[in-house]
């Protein structure tokens, strides 16, 4: 009986010790994130960019991805530094939105040597080297330029215009959306003799620059301007008050075409001061998380992912446009 008691006592002490050990081990163990993702954002230049950042942060949380987020404040060198920090930190996957297309070869080679896959988000890079990035998740900017021009051709037809003078306010020089939106637009109006581009001017995707550019264009061409084609909503919103100050009614005296489709621009479209907004969705977070998780798992990914986008214009009942969320 005595030995029995002893055995029970020893066993329960042992169980207590084991349990305590097990429990304390559990409490000390950090919860492993599914994935550590380093993301270098361009900056905060537009409602589009802020919507894009919010979407990526929300999706990272939803997918259980630990996000190292860096804002480059519109400077390529800050993006290069951020990518180097991600490499030093040994993140699982690097993603970034390159502000311009050229100048990434060195840092991308460093990521490749470290064995870290790179995803391009929103914008592309231009390089002769093979295999520096895994894929691009972003809009079809060329198609956006085409859709803007197709709207303009329909509008000119409906108004019976015989000659159409266009001024173009472009996005950041040498960026993918600037190059491709311009190319899509120019290629599409090329077959239409009525269309003339008076001037293309760099507005850097900024509202303040949009206003400056518009002032300068109005100073040079005044009432000769029939159309303002602006590469993003921010620049359009900067240009509109300048057009009004110069005594013109935007949407009537001048056809206003914008790209992005943020809520503020859609509200102005509903007022009739913008005629057409080509959608460019900033909601790329879901695709980014799913692609990054696949890469971590060593799976193949699509090399090009374009979201589906539409056109909002005075050709439709604009009161039916759903809230945009950015
Ligand atoms: O159109 C603009 C932003 O790269 C698609 O960048 C993006 C562009 C967008 O600042 O508003």
Query: For 116-128, what is each residue's pLDDT tens digit?
Result: 999 999 999 999 9
Average pLDDT, the chain: 93
Evaluate if residue 85 carries a pLDDT over 90: yes
Rounded distance from Cα 286 to ligand 1 centre (Å) = 18
- What is the model's pLDDT at position 16? 46
Domain residue limits, the chain: 35-139+282-311, 141-280
Of the candidates 86, 143, 140, the one whose C-alpha atom is nearest the C-alpha of residue 115 is 86
Distance CA 148, CA 155 (A): 11
Top mutation candidate among 44, 46, 180 for ligand 1, by most atoms within 8 Å of CB: 46
pLDDT digits (tens, 9 = 90+) for 5-42: 555 545 555 454 444 444 444 455 556 778 999 999 99
Q: Is 222 left (phi over 0), alpha (psi -120 to 50) or beta?
A: left
The structure tokens listed for 283 are 């909601």
Give the predicted TM-score (pTM) of the model: 0.90
Q: Choose which CATH entry (3.40.1160.10, 3.40.50.2300, 3.40.50.20, 3.40.50.970) describes domain 35-139+282-311.
A: 3.40.50.2300
Distance CA 62, CA 40 (A): 19
Q: Contact 199/221 with Cβ under 8 angstroms?
A: yes
CB of residue 152 inside a 6 A radius of ligand 1:
no
pLDDT digits (tens, 9 = 90+) for 201-219: 999 999 999 999 999 999 9
Q: Contact 46/261 with Cβ under 8 angstroms?
A: no
Burial 203-230 (b: 16+ CB within 10 A, else e): bbbbbebbbbbbbebbeeeeeebbbbbb
CB of residue 260 inside a 6 A radius of ligand 1:
yes
Q: Contact 91/36 with Cβ under 8 angstroms?
A: yes
May I ask the CATH class of domain 141-280?
A: alpha beta
- What is the model's pLDDT at position 135? 98
Rounded distance from Cα 282 to ligand 1 centre (Å) = 8
């Amino acid at each position: 009986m005595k030995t029995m008691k002893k055995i029970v006592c020893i066993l329960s002490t042992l169980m207590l010790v084991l349990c305590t050990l097990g429990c304390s081990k559990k409490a000390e163990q950090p919860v492993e994130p599914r994935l550590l993702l380093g993301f270098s954002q361009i900056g905060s230049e537009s409602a589009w960019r802020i919507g894009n950042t919010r979407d990526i942060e929300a999706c990272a949380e939803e997918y259980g991805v630990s996000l190292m987020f860096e804002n480059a404040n519109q400077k390529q060198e800050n993006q290069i530094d951020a990518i180097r920090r991600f490499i030093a930190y040994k993140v699982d996957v690097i993603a970034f939105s390159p502000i311009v297309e050229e100048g990434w070869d060195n840092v991308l080679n460093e990521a490749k040597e470290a064995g870290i896959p790179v995803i391009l988000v929103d914008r592309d890079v231009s390089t002769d080297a093979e295999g520096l990035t895994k894929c691009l998740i972003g809009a079809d900017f060329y198609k956006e330029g085409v859709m803007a021009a197709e709207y303009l051709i329909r509008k000119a037809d409906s108004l019976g215009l015989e000659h159409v003078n266009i001024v173009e306010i472009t996005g950041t020089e040498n960026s993918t959306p600037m190059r491709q939106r311009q190319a899509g637009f120019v290629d599409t109006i090329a077959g239409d003799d009525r269309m003339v581009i008076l001037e293309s001017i760099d507005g850097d995707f900024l509202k303040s620059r949009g206003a400056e550019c518009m002032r300068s264009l109005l100073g040079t061409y005044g009432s000769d301007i029939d159309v303002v084609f602006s590469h993003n909503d921010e620049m359009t919103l900067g240009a509109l008050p300048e057009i009004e100050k110069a005594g013109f009614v935007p949407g009537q005296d001048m056809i206003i075409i914008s790209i992005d489709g943020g809520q503020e621009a859609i509200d102005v479209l509903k007022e009739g001061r913008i005629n057409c907004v080509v959608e460019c969705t900033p909601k790329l977070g879901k695709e980014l998380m799913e692609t990054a998780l696949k890469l971590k798992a060593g799976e193949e990914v699509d090399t090009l992912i374009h979201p589906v986008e539409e056109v909002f214009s005075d050709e439709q009942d604009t009161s039916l446009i759903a809230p945009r969320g950015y």
